[in-house]
Amino acid sequence: MSEILWSDPQPQAGRSESKRGVGLQFGPDVTERFLKLNNLEYVVRSHEVKQEGYELAH
């Protein structure tokens, strides 16, 4: 469960260790595959404050 809750997008393809020490960082290819496998268009994450109110990644 913590992997799902604390993982973050990264600009590079693939996956890598998270700078937070928990979860992973995932690239656009990982996002694309997840969306296709689950017949989704978007994933909404919300464990960080963004100055503009939101941020688009991938």
Asked if residue 16 belongs to a domain, the reply is yes
Asked if residue 52 belongs to a domain, the reply is no
Domain count, the chain: 1
Residue 56 near residue 14, CB atoms below 8 Å: no
**pLDDT tens digits along 23-41:** 899 999 999 999 999 999 9
Which has the minimum average pLDDT: 3-7, 16-20, 28-32? 3-7
Pairing of strands 15-17, 24-26: antiparallel
Whether residue 5 is predicted with pLDDT greater than 70 in this model: the reply is: yes
Asked if residue 45 belongs to a domain, the reply is no
Asked if residue 28 belongs to a domain, the reply is yes
Range of the domain at 9: 2-37
Asked if residue 10 belongs to a domain, the reply is yes
pTM equals 0.81
At CA 17, angle to CA 26 and CA 20, rounded to 5?
Answer: 100
